[in-house]
Amino acid sequence: MCGVVPQVLVFTSGRIRKTMNVEYMGLKEISGPLVVIDGVKDASYEEMVEITVGKNKRLGQIIKIDGELCVVQVFEGTRGISLENTRSKLLGKPLKMPLSKELLGRVMDGIGRPVDELGEIYPEKSWDINGEPINPVMREYPRNFIQTGISSIDGLTTLIRGQKLPVFSGSGLPHNQLAVQIVRQAKISDTENENFAVVFAAMGVKHDVAEYFRQSFQKSGVLDRVVMFLNLANDPVVERIVTPRCALTAAEYLAYEKNMHVLVIMTDMTSYAEALREISSSKGEIPSRKGYPGYLYSDLASLYERAGMVKGCKGSITQIPILTMPNDDITHPIPDLTGYITEGQIVLDKNLSQKGIYPPVSILPSLSRLMKDGIGEGYTRADHPQVANQLFASYAKVQEVRALASVIGEEELSEIDKLYMKFGRKFEENFISQDFRENRSIEETLDLGWTLLRLLPKEELDRISPDTIAKYYDISESGAGDF
Amino acid sequence: MENTSQGTIFGINGPVIKVRGKHAFQMLEMVLVGHDRLIGEVIRVLETETIVQVYENTTGLKPGEPVISTGKPLTVKLGPGIIGNVFDGIERPLAQVAKNTGIFITRGNVMDNLDREKLWDVRILVKPGDYVTQGKVLAEVKETESVNHKIMVPPNVKGEIIEAASDGLYNIDKIIVKVRDGKQVHNLTLVQEWPVREPRPYYHRLPLDIPLITGQRVIDTLFPMAKGGAAAIPGGFGTGKTLTQHQLAKWANADIIVYVGCGERGNEITEVLEDFPKLIDPRSGRPLMERTVLIGNTSNMPVAAREASIYTGITLAEYYRDMGYDVAIMADSTSRWAEALREISGRLEEMPAEEGFPAYLPSRLSEFYERAGRVETFNGTEGSVSIIGAVSPQGGDFSEPVTQNTKRFTRCFWALDKALAYTRHYPAINWINSYSEYNDDLSDWYSKNAHVEFTDKKKEISRILQEEGKLLDIVKLIGSDILPDEQKLVLETAKVIRQGFLQQNAYHEQDTYVPVKKQYLMMDSILRLYEKAMMLVNLGIPVSVIRRSGVFDEVIRIKYNISNDDLGAFDELNRRLEKTLEEIEAEYK
Ligand SMILES: Nc1ncnc2c1ncn2[C@@H]1O[C@H](COP(=O)(O)OP(=O)(O)O)[C@@H](O)[C@H]1O
Ligand SMILES: [Mg+2]
């Protein structure tokens, strides 16, 4: 563990627990996913509770204590539970994730229990799934470029190892394909395929989506480096709160204990946040925006901030959370609060998708905050920052010209504006758009950028220094004829 | 200190604890919670129970565990060793936390706030027999190469010095002076304590007529900030709040920077820690870290300590102000602090006002921003605390309660604009929606120290931008081709102002910080070009001809082509521009 083992909480505070085997019969109240147990002695905050209903055992967690009253959220839901038919037992520990390198290649349910019939995991370690905040002085600032082979990402919203870079999508958009293409093509580890791993957390997604990911991992031959955590659409809602935490605990183990570079895909964060809202409303909490609890920001941060790199460790955790924006609204609390926490966002756009452009990355609202430190001389190529900047600025200008064209007609545009119209079209068709199987090197991406910029007169390139223009704009290069 | 008043935990709900038992707790008193002695603060005292907010993760606490009174409010330790350090929201040094618990922060970290072993070179400035009152400087310590730390008589202490140590190397606990006040003797060391929620006293307030120079053109010229003032930077995610805060922390002409990362990203603290020791303060020639203190209570750290972090930060700032320094404090983001208030308030089941925020949100905000100011201290020096608060409005919507209430208590409003950020116009400070109410009070300073015509020039620059705004509404409908050439020139000049002047690249070695004199000369060159070009246009020369000569592009590139220490180059540039324009004129005749 790169030096230090995280504190494992045992809930005895140095005293021997006398009540370990006490069972509490019946309940005082049931409300949504929550139950209230009365007369509890010696309960610890956030301790796990096992609730037996007939022959069937369910897990829950204490989320509030008031004297001898304990409010417990039941992961598997409260269906079939009555005030009389339960026996509850305190387990004396928080929810823990059993950890071992054997996790690779395995499929688990939403609370980290194997479901692939390959048997139990023999844990080497067992960690509290809530993790602990990384001390900012122990973080290593991420700077290593991950080539994904996708021009819109590598060129304009560069992914950095240890970054948290979500995909903001909408229903019907190819965010899953994009995630799969990233996993397939990303050069995460310097030593190629040696020590990278993928942790996949599904929250409330349909069965066929989970299956699509599994098959894609299989086809690209990485399945034995993937750990999957599945809470599907018909799985219990409360469990959904736990799924990403189990996944991130596994990721931390692989990164900080086994020095692996871990890519974590979490989908769909919208379902996750909705589950949080549902539980919050059963608790009768005062909502903030759109019914989401006031602590949604802190809660999401407790997941996203688990990405990163730390001093003295070779491993890293890179997160690509996927969320579907309700009503394609980027100001909705889920994308909004996510964007406030993550280090940028890749925004997908319906209009581009309808034009047949894959991946439909809307570059203007997309951003990679860590890009500045991982591109340019010594990282990608010296001209990269300027090319990226110019492409953004010129494409922004295209939007203005298009708005004007829609008013006065394209024929009425000035000559220079017509060039912008052409640039915009070619940029979308040739730069943003690429095949699902196409893997472009960063040089190819940047050269393509120049080919496009050459459609515009030099004077228009106000974000590029004269030397860089001299070096890249003026050379006539084969292939430029395409446009 | 050894108060045994004690209760026991009755209920636990997140960071909020209900305590029963002997009810001798005072409001806002600091308490130690549970066997692990987690730090907490009393936030409500009822007849039968006391409510405590806990600054650490409460997982694993049990009813029945003890809650011990400390008899004093939440305080910070003030003394040498603050500068260059990184603390959490309640002044625990994070490097020390890392020594104890490694890469993760675990609970129950009880430790000294300031290093008690380290020896400081102390120069004593008083002698027995001197009569001293609060704020009087007793000794000096070179805290860093850039900061001379003054050891002062704590507020509300006065009397005759009966003993004084001689100069020497001492740790912070060394009693350097004994002061007798009647029967009472105060043993004064290098440290004092102060409750964070209480403003430190000063002699009296001074007018805010000196700017806090930031080296950022759009701020220093159009929307200047005063030393001792309060500014807000609202903006949706990705619009540049943090980067602007970092830029100010780097380049503002303050003596001390207090940077509070309040509920934001861990990597942003790490970035400052990596960059600042390497960056050189243009004024002192020393690394920026030598004047900076960081408070990092990131989004994933306990929410109650996030609430406290703002107060810890401002208290440190006031302490250095009292030594006669100009201090600037950046709080990124005050919205996260407001959300922490909301979260605690929700757990207390208080009646919410707007959007779930408690009804006391406005009063808390005003109390905080009131702690800004330029003052005469008790030791006769002048010091200031300038507050720059980032605001993160939900959905980027400025009508939400935190932005609206912040607007009431700050006088600079640097509105960040998503549309500008999307086009990568940085800093994305919208020149139409932003304002500074310090403008009038600072204009004297600018005419004395920058240029007599500074204010006139900036008004002209604003006017051109305003006019562009109106013209663009027309252009959207009909295109720019059929505008008269005079108006085309306004658009062209506004573009030069936007790209050449307002846009400023934080990552460019020269452009990241620009002295006010150069800012003036840039405005001057732009306006000279505008006037001369207007003459040509009035002679019937089309703007397109002028544009083709490249004069506009040349002015846009001033920021990269004329370095900050070569202001003589402006004369040459202006002559060259003039010559080009004269040639055009000659050709046309
Ligand atoms: N003055 C500037 N120069 C260059 N880039 C900037 C500037 N201001 C903002 N940016 C860009 O915008 C991104 C987001 O800025 P940031 O301050 O993190 O936004 P916020 O804190 O508002 O979410 C940065 O990563 C950087 O790429
Ligand atoms: Mg920020």
From A94, A116, A134, the end of a domain falls on A94
Q: Look up the CATH number of domain B115-191.
A: 2.40.50.100
Say which CATH number the domain at A422 has. Answer: 1.10.1140
Q: Please, which residues have CB less than 5 A from ligand 2, an ion?
A: B 241-242
Q: How far is CA A277 from the centre of its chain?
A: 19
- The set of residues, in sequence order, having a beta carbon less than 8 Å from that of A245 and lying 6+ positions away, is A95, A129, A130, A131, A303
Cα separation, B478 vs B474, in Å, equals: 6
Q: How far is B414 from chain A (nearest CA, A)?
A: 19
Cα separation, A358 vs B143, in Å, equals: 58
Q: Which of B550, B488, B493, B563 is nearest to B525 (CA)?
A: B493
From A344, A373, A402, the end of a domain falls on A373
Under DSSP, is residue B342 helix (H, G, I), strand (E, B) or coil?
helix
Helix, strand, coil percent values for chain B (each to nearest 5): 35, 25, 40
The model's pLDDT over B94-151, given as tens digits with 9 standing for 90+, comes to 999 999 889 999 887 778 999 999 999 999 999 999 999 999 999 999 999 999 999 9
Residue B564's identity, in one-letter code, is N
Backbone angles phi, psi at B171, to 5 degrees: -85, 175
Q: Are residues A104 and A205 in the same domain?
A: yes
Residue A54's identity, in one-letter code, is G
What's the A372 CA to ligand 1 centre distance in angstroms? Answer: 10
What's the A367 CA to ligand 2 centre distance in angstroms? Answer: 13
In DSSP notation, A333-379 reads: HHHHHHHHHSSEEEEB-HHHHHTT-SS-B-TTT-EETTHHHHSSTTT
Q: How many residues does chain B have?
A: 589
Chain B contact for A299, CB < 8 A?
no
Ramachandran sector of residue B159 (left: φ over 0; alpha: ψ -120 to 50; beta: rest): left
Ligand nearest to the CA of B235: 1
Q: How far is A360 from chain B (nearest CA, A)?
A: 17
Q: What's residue A476's pLDDT?
A: 57
Chain B contact for A480, CB < 8 A?
no
Residue A64 lies in a domain: yes
- CB of A289 closer than 6 A to ligand 1? no
The model's pLDDT over B350-367, given as tens digits with 9 standing for 90+, comes to 888 888 899 999 999 999
Chain B contact for A473, CB < 8 A?
no
Q: How far is CA B516 from the centre of its chain?
A: 20
Cα separation, B84 vs B276, in Å, equals: 10
Q: How far is B388 from chain A (nearest CA, A)?
A: 19
- CB of B511 closer than 6 A to ligand 1? no
Most distant pair of Cα atoms in chain B: their distance: 97
Q: Which of residues 413-432 of A touch B (CB under 8 A)?
A: 413-414, 417
Residue B71's identity, in one-letter code, is G
Q: What is the assigned CATH class of domain B204-436?
A: alpha beta
Nearest to A66 among B11, B395, B480 (CB): B11
The model's pLDDT over B215-237, given as tens digits with 9 standing for 90+, comes to 999 999 999 999 999 999 999 99
Query: Which chain B residue has the Cα nearest residue A398?
Result: B423
What's the A363 CA to ligand 2 centre distance in angstroms? Answer: 20
Q: Per the CB < 8 Å rule, is A66 touching B346?
A: no
Helix, strand, coil percent values for chain A (each to nearest 5): 35, 20, 40
Number of neighbouring beta carbons within 10 Å of residue B162: 14
Residue A379 lies in a domain: no
Q: Per the CB < 8 Å rule, is A4 touching B422?
A: no
Under DSSP, is residue A130 helix (H, G, I), strand (E, B) or coil?
coil
- Index of the ligand 1 atom closest to the CA of residue B264: 21
Q: B511 preceded by cis ω (within 30°)?
A: no
pLDDT at B75 over 60: yes
Q: Which residues of A touch B66 (CB under 8 A)?
A: none
CB crowding A59-96: b at 16 or more within 10 Å, else e: bbbbbbbeebbbbbbbbbbbeebeeeebebbbbbbbbb
Token pair, residue B496, equals 């030069």
H or E, element range at B587 = helix B569-588
The 8-class DSSP code of residue B100 comes to H
From A70, A94, A118, the end of a domain falls on A94
Q: How far is A214 from chain B (nearest CA, A)?
A: 31
Nearest to B101 among A7, A142, A295 (CB): A7
Q: Are residues A256 and A354 in the same domain?
A: yes
Number of neighbouring beta carbons within 10 Å of residue B399: 8
Q: Do residues B213 and B429 lie in contact, with contact meaning Cβ atoms separated by under 8 Å?
A: no
In DSSP notation, B380-437 reads: S-EEEEEEEEEE--GGG-TTSHHHHHHHHH-SEE--B-HHHHHTT-SS-B-TTT-EET
CATH, domain B454-588, list 1.20.1250.20, 3.40.50.150, 3.30.950.10, 1.10.1140.10: 1.10.1140.10
Q: Are residues A252 and A355 in the same domain?
A: yes
Number of neighbouring beta carbons within 10 Å of residue A356: 10
pLDDT tens across the length of chain A (483 residues): 565 444 444 444 444 455 557 889 999 999 888 999 999 988 999 999 999 998 889 999 999 999 999 999 998 888 889 999 999 999 988 899 999 999 999 999 999 999 998 999 999 999 999 999 999 999 999 999 999 999 999 999 999 999 999 999 998 999 999 999 999 998 877 665 578 999 999 999 999 999 999 999 999 888 999 999 999 999 988 899 999 999 999 999 999 999 999 999 999 999 999 999 998 888 888 888 899 998 999 999 999 999 999 999 999 999 999 999 999 999 999 999 999 999 999 999 999 999 999 999 999 999 999 999 899 998 999 999 999 999 999 999 999 899 889 888 888 888 999 999 999 999 999 999 999 999 999 999 999 999 999 999 988 898 898 889 999 998 755 444 456
Q: B333 preceded by cis ω (within 30°)?
A: yes
Q: Are residues A101 and A46 in the same domain?
A: no
Q: Are residues A35 and A107 in the same domain?
A: no
Token pair, residue B542, equals 């089309």
Q: Are residues A331 and A388 in the same domain?
A: no
Whose structure tokens read 């020269």? B510
Q: How far is B88 from chain A (nearest CA, A)?
A: 10
Q: Are residues A340 and A237 in the same domain?
A: yes
Residue minimizing CA distance to atom 11 of ligand 1: B240
Q: Per the CB < 8 Å rule, is A14 touching B58?
A: no
What's the B323 CA to ligand 2 centre distance in angstroms? Answer: 31
Q: Which residues of B touch A12 (CB under 8 A)?
A: none
Residue minimizing CA distance to atom 10 of ligand 1: B240
Q: How far is A403 from chain B (nearest CA, A)?
A: 7
Residue minimizing CA distance to atom 24 of ligand 1: A369
Q: What's residue A409's pLDDT?
A: 87
The model's pLDDT over B198-215, given as tens digits with 9 standing for 90+, comes to 999 999 999 999 999 999
Q: What's residue B177's pLDDT?
A: 96
- CB of B235 closer than 6 A to ligand 1? yes
The model's pLDDT over B177-206, given as tens digits with 9 standing for 90+, comes to 999 999 999 999 999 999 999 999 999 999
Say which CATH number the domain at A51 has. Answer: 2.40.30.20
Q: Per the CB < 8 Å rule, is A308 touching B477?
A: no
Q: Are residues A369 and A417 in the same domain?
A: no
Cα separation, A16 vs A277, in Å, equals: 37
The segment(s) of chain B belonging to CATH 3.40.50.300 are 204-436
- Cβ-Cβ contacts under 8 Å between A and B: the total is 240
Residue A161 lies in a domain: yes
Residue A378 lies in a domain: no
Q: Are residues A251 and A278 in the same domain?
A: yes
Nearest to A4 among B103, B274, B476 (CB): B103
Cα separation, B30 vs B28, in Å, equals: 6
Topology given in CATH for the domain delimited by B6-73: Elongation Factor Tu (Ef-tu); domain 3 (2.40.30)
Cα A274 to Cα A237, A268, A288, B56, B302: the distances in Å are 9, 10, 14, 27, 23
- The set of residues, in sequence order, having a beta carbon less than 8 Å from that of B354 and lying 6+ positions away, is B400, B401
Chain B contact for A412, CB < 8 A?
yes
- Bridge partners (DSSP) of residue B107 are none
Cα B224 to Cα A172, A258, B434: the distances in Å are 48, 52, 11
Domain that holds residue A35: 3-94
Cα separation, B40 vs B55, in Å, equals: 6
- CB of B379 closer than 6 A to ligand 1? no
Mean of the per-residue pLDDT values of chain B: 93
Q: What's residue A8's pLDDT?
A: 46
Q: Which of residues 137-176 of A touch B (CB under 8 A)?
A: 137-142
Say which CATH number the domain at A154 has. Answer: 3.40.50.12240
Q: How many residues does chain A have?
A: 483
Q: Are residues A366 and A405 in the same domain?
A: no
Q: What's residue B558's pLDDT?
A: 93
Nearest to B423 among A345, A367, A393 (CB): A393
- Bridge partners (DSSP) of residue A37 are A70
Cα separation, A306 vs A302, in Å, equals: 7
Cα separation, B297 vs B340, in Å, equals: 12
- CB of B234 closer than 6 A to ligand 1? no
Q: Are residues A337 and A425 in the same domain?
A: no
Q: Do residues B213 and B221 lie in contact, with contact meaning Cβ atoms separated by under 8 Å?
A: no
Q: Are residues A107 and A76 in the same domain?
A: no
| Number of domains composing chain A | 3
Whose structure tokens read 């026996």? A87
Q: Which of A166, A141, A147 is nearest to A366 (CA)?
A: A166
Mutate to test the pocket of ligand 1, among B332, B426, B430, B501 (most ligand atoms within 8 A of CB): B426
CB crowding B443-452: b at 16 or more within 10 Å, else e: bebbeeebbe
Q: What's residue A380's pLDDT?
A: 92
The model's pLDDT over B501-534, given as tens digits with 9 standing for 90+, comes to 999 999 998 999 999 999 999 999 999 999 999 9
The model's pLDDT over B384-415, given as tens digits with 9 standing for 90+, comes to 999 999 999 998 999 999 999 999 999 999 99
The complex's ipTM works out to 0.92
